[in-house]
């Protein structure tokens, strides 16, 4: 798929932007702080309803304005689609698909699919487990938009159960009927958490299995050939304790996972009440990454970590295009971070993609094979330069 038009109103530094785009490569260059990342961030938001740069929508609205509007025309195998979202910080956002209002913003997910590389991707390898869970859930939603609902349900139950644990913990002195009633309430929430968590867990485990061969191939391609330093990934669930009953993901079903989650929750109940936090479930899981048999986090060199981060994005891209149309590929300021060898190999890997959008402060950092349309970004204006 590819974007043919992007229009932004009061998004970040843009008062109003109307941009025509073509398939193939487009490069956006200009000095630091002029709005290059803001531009691709808007595209990523239309695809994922989020941005890795912020946890809330408020910073996305231009300072002084009270709402932002993002609009994109997408051409894909199904024809043309117009995707729109209005950001109203503090109130509900509104989304439209082909001008028809949608009941919920997440109903537009899937209309635009992107894979975005950014300097912050290094945190996928070096950062906290939360970074990798977010990576998995975002990719899961890109492969099947219904996972946005699965994730939202789980988050809601988790929040409510955690609140209950906190209040129950502070009432440790409860006796008799009051204590029994609290226990029964917690049991009910355990059941809900297990029911909401099992499909998320199953989705992530299947995703990791599907992604693994792509990751191995991509790491080899980025790092420059088979060096024996093979990369690997492994999903470690806080609830399954290396239970090899679940190793065969092809046969994975949610019912046994739900049961395993319930058991795990029963096992940690006492410490949960002590600490007032929920100690088992997909929100405590880890995606472990390895290079040459060693955990990447804490062992990999800076260059190896970069190669692995790039490989994770390339693997995502390979998975998303498997049997389907290409997602839009976004490379935000990544070439400046890479040595010449990695630059050229990355460029060669992405050159044939239906649409590639690249930002760079220094255009010379972008390898020649990625010649295409050139735009300059300056003072809130984006102009075609060649």
Ligand X SMILES: Nc1ncnc2c1ncn2[C@@H]1O[C@H](COP(=O)(O)OP(=O)(O)OP(=O)(O)O)[C@@H](O)[C@H]1O
Q: Which of 7, 21, 36, 43 binds ligand X (CB under 6 A)?
A: 36
Residue 56's binding partner, choosing from Mg ion, ligand X, none, with beta-carbon cut-off 5 to 8 A by kind?
none
Which among 28-36, 58-66, 139-147, 175-183 is the span making contact with Mg ion, rule CB under 5 A?
Answer: 28-36
∠ Cα 102 104 107 (to 5°):
70
Nearer Cβ to Mg ion, position 154 or 335? 335
**To the nearest 10°, the Cα dihedral for 166, 167, 170, 171?**
-140
Asked if 161 is part of the footprint of ligand X (rule: CB under 6 A), the reply reads no
Site residues (CB under 6 A) for ligand X, limited to 209-248? none
**Subset of 37-66 contacting ligand X (CB under 6 A):** 37-38, 59, 61-63
**What are the backbone angles phi and psi of residue 277, rounded to the nearest 5°?**
-130, 155
CA distances from 122 to 158, 305, 311, 361 (A): 28, 7, 11, 19
Least CB distance from residue 55 to ligand X, whole Å?
14
Joined together, the tokens standing for residue 174 give 């409860």
Tell which one of 2, 3, 6, 12 touches ligand X (CB under 6 A): 12
361 binds, among Mg ion, ligand X, none (CB under 5 to 8 A by kind): ligand X
Does 143 bind ligand X (CB under 6 A)? Our answer is: no
Binding partner selected for residue 48 from Mg ion, ligand X, none, CB under the kind-specific 5 to 8 Å limit: none
Q: Could you say whether residue 27 binds Mg ion (CB under 5 A)?
A: no
DSSP class of residue 341? H
Give the length of the chain: 386
At 74, give phi and psi (nearest 5°): -115, 130
Check residue 27 for interaction with ligand X (CB under 6 A).
no
**Binding of ligand X at residue 35 (CB under 6 A)?**
yes
**Alpha-carbon gap, residue 226 to 123, rounded angstroms:** 25
Reading the block at residue 318, the tokens are: 């390979």
- Contact call for residues 271 and 115 (beta carbons, < 8 A): no
Residue 10: contacted member of ligand X, Mg ion, none (CB under 5 to 8 Å, by partner type): none
Nearer of residues 29 and 141 to Mg ion, judged by Cβ: 29
Q: Decide: is 37 part of the binding site for Mg ion (CB under 5 A).
A: yes
Q: How many CA atoms lie within 13 A of 232 on its CB side?
A: 12
Specify the stretch interacting with Mg ion by CB under 5 A; choose among 97-105, 167-175, 329-337, 342-350.
Answer: 329-337
Structure tokens, 326: 């290409």
Q: Quick one: CA torsion of 60, 148, 7, 313, rounded to 10 degrees?
A: 90
Residues of the shown chain interacting with ligand X in the complex, contacts defined by CB under 6 A: 12-13, 32-38, 59, 61-63, 333, 361
Residues of the shown chain interacting with Mg ion in the complex, contacts defined by CB under 5 A: 36-37, 333
């Amino acid at each position: 798929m590819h974007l043919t038009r992007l229009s932004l109103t009061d998004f970040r530094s843009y008062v109003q932007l109307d941009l025509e785009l073509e398939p193939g490569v487009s490069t956006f260059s200009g000095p630091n702080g002029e709005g290059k990342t803001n531009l691709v961030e808007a595209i990523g938001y239309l695809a994922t309803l989020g941005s890795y740069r912020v946890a809330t929508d408020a910073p996305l609205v231009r300072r002084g304005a009270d709402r932002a509007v993002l609009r994109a025309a997408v051409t894909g195998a199904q024809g043309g689609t117009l995707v729109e979202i209005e950001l109203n910080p503090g109130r509900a956002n509104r989304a439209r698909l082909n001008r028809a209002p949608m009941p919920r913003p997440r109903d537009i997910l899937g209309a635009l699919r992107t894979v975005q590389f950014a300097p912050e991707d290094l945190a996928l390898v070096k950062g906290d487990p939360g970074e990798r869970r977010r990576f998995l859930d975002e990719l899961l939603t890109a492969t099947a938009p219904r996972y946005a609902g699965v994730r939202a349900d789980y988050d809601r139950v988790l929040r409510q159960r955690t609140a209950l644990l906190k209040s129950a913990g502070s009432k440790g002195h409860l006796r008799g009927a009051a204590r029994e009633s609290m226990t029964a309430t917690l049991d009910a929430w355990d059941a809900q958490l297990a029911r909401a968590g099992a499909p998320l867990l199953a989705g992530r485990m299947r995703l990791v299995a599907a992604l693994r061969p792509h990751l191995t191939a991509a790491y080899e391609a980025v790092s420059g050939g088979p060096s024996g330093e093979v990369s690997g990934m492994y999903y470690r669930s806080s609830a399954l304790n290396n239970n090899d009953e679940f190793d065969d993901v092809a046969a994975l079903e949610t019912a046994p996972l739900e049961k395993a989650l319930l058991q795990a929750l029963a096992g940690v109940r006492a410490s949960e009440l002590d600490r007032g936090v929920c100690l088992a479930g997909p929100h405590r899981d880890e995606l472990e990454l390895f290079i040459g048999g060693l955990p990447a986090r804490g062992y990999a060199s800076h260059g190896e970590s970069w190669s692995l981060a790039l490989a994770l994005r390339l693997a995502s891209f390979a998975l998303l295009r498997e049997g389907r149309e290409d997602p839009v590929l976004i490379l935000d300021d990544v070439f400046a971070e890479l040595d010449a060898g990695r630059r050229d190999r990355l460029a060669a890997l992405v050159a044939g993609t239906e649409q590639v959008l690249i930002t760079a402060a220094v255009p010379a950092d972008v390898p020649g094979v990625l010649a295409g349309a050139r735009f300059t970004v300056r003072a809130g204006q984006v102009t075609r330069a060649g």
